[in-house]
Each structure stands twice: as structure tokens, then as C-alpha cells.
Amino acid sequence: AQKITQTQPGMFVQEKEAVTLDCTYDTSDPSYGLFWYKQPSSGEMIFLIYQGSYDQQNATEGRYSLNFQKARKSANLVISASQLGDSAMYFCAMRTASKLTFGTGTRLQVTL
Amino acid sequence: EAGVAQSPRYKIIEKRQSVAFWCNPISGHATLYWYQQILGQGPKLLIQFQNNGVVDDSQLPKDRFSAERLKGVDSTLKIQPAKLEDSAVYLCASSSGLNHKETQYFGPGTRLLVL
């Protein structure tokens, strides 16, 4: 069985600061992909970043980076230089051959 | 490139009524997914299509929910009859294939309220 755990229901960060959103996962499949999505209040799920289980380097996409620690089964999202528009729900998800499983999400609020 | 399209964006119905949602995936994407997202939770997969065949419908409440993708492109999800607990956002997503590396791209969702 696959499981994604996001232990932070809500986070606050000041504008221009960096923030880390936690995600741990559990699977017995050797091949899997880890994804982060952003969901603003409008409801659309926006793809942010992907990390493959065999990737040696941590993924980066602009201000987003994924801190992948395979032995600890964690895939934390780091957002650098936070902006007011980053305020949203953030979901960690894991995909194996069978399906994509989501965590419960973390609500990020960026303050002035 | 156009994204995943969904309609309607909002729907309010009374319990025991029926409702249908439509999804048009990204052009060329063979795999299409329907998710249900209840307020405060992550999306939950209802059904997954590869072209016009069902890959996984294990979490679809088949007594009231049905979905089809007849020509391997557009898809419709139907609820009949609706219950109060069906109030949720219904998200459609598509990807190039089934591989674990394939990113799923989501549409804007349909917000359903059952009264």
C-alpha cells in the first residue's frame, strides 16, 4: 500500500523568506515518482516539480526545489524568496505503476 | 498548448437528482483520470482510463457513479442519484501514459454542491 504524509496542516512565512513543506512517503515499489502540486483558492491543481526515485540529483524548478532523502523516505518542498502569490494549498503526491496518491496538504500563507 | 478543459465549473443540485461532468484532456494524452476532492482533503482517484479502456475503477461507487470515454478523447462522469456526501470538487487530469514518471495535468475542476 502507498501512503503520503504531510504533517503540517498550515504554515506561515514572511515575504521573501524561504519555507520548507514536509512530505514523507511509504511504498514497497522500487520505482516511483514524487510530485508537488499547488492548489490556489480557484481550485486548479498546478504541477510544480517532479523527482524520480532513481534520480541522483535533487530536482529544481525556478524558486522550487525538492529535498529528496531516499533513505528517510522524505521529499520536502523548498520555496525560496516567497511571494504573496505563493499563498495556497500544497499537495505532495507519489506515483507508482498503479496510481497517484496524494497527501492531505499544507496550507501556506505568505505574509508581508 | 491548451490544458485540460472541464465543464461546468459549478453545479448545485438537490439530492436524488442526476448530474454529469465533462472533460477534454490535453491533446494526445492517452490517459485520463477523474478525482473527487472533498473539502479539506487531497484528491482521491475515482477512475482511470487508458484510451477508451478502464484501467482502474476500484474506488468508483458503481451503484451511483458511472464514467465513459467512448472515443478515447473526451470523458463524462455521471452521478445518479446524488447524495449529500457527493458534494466535492471533481477534478479531471490527463497524462501521456501510465508510467510513474508521467506528470498528470489537472483541469480547473467542477464544484458540486448537493442540497
Judged by a CB distance cut-off of 8 A, whether residue A24 touches chain B is: no
Residue A30 has pLDDT above 80, yes or no: yes
% chain B with pLDDT above 90:
86
Convert the pLDDT of each residue in B18-30 to its tens digit: 999 999 999 999 9
Convert the pLDDT of each residue in B34-78 to its tens digit: 999 999 899 999 999 998 899 999 999 999 999 999 888 999 999
Judged by a CB distance cut-off of 8 A, whether residue A96 touches chain B is: yes
Strand ranges (E), B1-115: 5-7, 10-13, 19-24, 31-37, 44-50, 53-56, 65-68, 75-79, 88-95, 105-106, 110-114
Record: contact B109-A43, CB cut-off 8 A: yes
- Higher pLDDT pick, B100 / B61: B61
Residues 17-56 of B with CB under 8 A from A: 33, 40-45, 48, 56
Q: How far is A10 from chain B (nearest CA, A)?
A: 12
Q: Please give the residue of chain A at the shortest CA–CA distance from B6.
A: A44
State CA B83 to chain mean position distance: 17
Mean pLDDT over residues B95-108, rounded? 87
The helix/strand/coil state of B84 is helix
Euclidean distance between CA atoms B107 and B115, whole angstroms? 25
Residues of B in contact with A100 (CB under 8 A): 33, 45, 104
The one-character DSSP state at B1 is -
Residue A1 has pLDDT above 90, yes or no: no
Mutation for A interface: B35, B39, B100, most A CBs within 10 A = B100
Residues of A in contact with B107 (CB under 8 A): 44
Band (pLDDT 50/70/90 cuts) for residue B2 is: confident
Residue B1 has pLDDT above 70, yes or no: no
Locate all alpha helices (DSSP H) within A58-112, ordered by sequence: none
Judged by a CB distance cut-off of 8 A, whether residue A25 touches chain B is: no
Band (pLDDT 50/70/90 cuts) for residue B98 is: confident
How far is residue A84 from each of residues A2, A15, A59, B81, measured CA to CA in Å? 33, 7, 23, 42
Record: contact A33-B106, CB cut-off 8 A: no
Residue A57 and residue A70 in contact, taking contact as beta carbons nearer than 8 Å: no
Q: How far is B45 from chain A (nearest CA, A)?
A: 8
